[in-house]
Amino acid sequence: MLTEFTPINHITGSVLQMQREVQWFKEVESICPPMCQELLNNDCLTAKELFTRTHQDLREKGEKWMKNTITSGSVVGTLIVTIMFAAAFTIPGGTNQETGSTILVHDKLFKIFMIADSISLFSSSTAVLIFLGIFTSRYAEEDFLILLPKKMVIGFSTLFFSIISMMIAFSAALLITLREESLIVIPIIGLASVPVLFVLMPFRLLVDIFRSTYGRGIFNRKMKPWF
């Protein structure tokens, strides 16, 4: 049962709080005799039914928090997809009017630009699709155990990777365009690295989710069943 004295306030986010409660339930279920799982209490409820009833509010809070979070991530991912798709056809240096091929096709900076642009486009598209999958999930109690946290880690990891790749593509394009103007290029590239630092700020949340999902657990694994 979930009460006001349940020690979950130290856990960040209602999603991880719900995950911890499901972890407790699954761990206790794994060491209890099978017959205990079907026993009824005074309200004619099994342990699973009682868990669902008492954790309904927390589950709804977790669902609302996750939907709000992935909605913001989806907006950012969609903007990156749009920008990087357009940048792929706005080639620095231009094209040969006679052959239609890229003038700087053998330039190292141009190759860096195209690789970074492609990585950013593909990773942001992956993030948007993963967020869409989270948004349409059932949000059942079992989904909070591994499925939803795993998708969230993958989604935001690919989104952060796409932002970093976008900054690399921007810097490469700037170096191609302003090769001779180092006094202008270097400060701008330095400013372009600032958003990367802010990207790392939510990294703590991803670490908490990963540790809570794939950590060693909350019980001693050497504990023997009661039966």
pLDDT digits (tens, 9 = 90+) for 17-65: 888 889 888 888 888 888 888 888 888 888 888 888 888 898 999 999 8
Record the tokens describing residue 27, joined without a space: 């761990």
pLDDT at residue 224 greater than cutoff 80: no
Mean pLDDT over 133-160 rounds to 90
Which whole number is the average pLDDT over 158-171? 88
Question: Cα separation of 105 and 100, whole Å?
Answer: 11
- E-strand stretches of 37-137: none
pLDDT at 97: 56
More confident residue, 101 or 56: 56
Best CA proximity match to 52, nearest among 3, 6, 1: 1
Greatest alpha-carbon span in the chain: 85
198's enclosing H/E stretch is: helix 194-199
Residue 105 has pLDDT above 80, yes or no: no
Of 125, 124, 131, nearest in space to 159 by CA: 124
pLDDT band per the 50, 70, 90 thresholds, residue 227: low
Q: Whole-prediction pTM value? A: 0.80
pLDDT of residue 77: 92
% of the chain at pLDDT higher than 90: 18
Listed as own residue / partner, the contacts of 48-52 with beta carbons closer than 8 Å and 24 or more positions apart are: 50/1, 51/1, 51/21, 51/25, 51/141, 52/141
Tokens matching residue 197: 């630092």
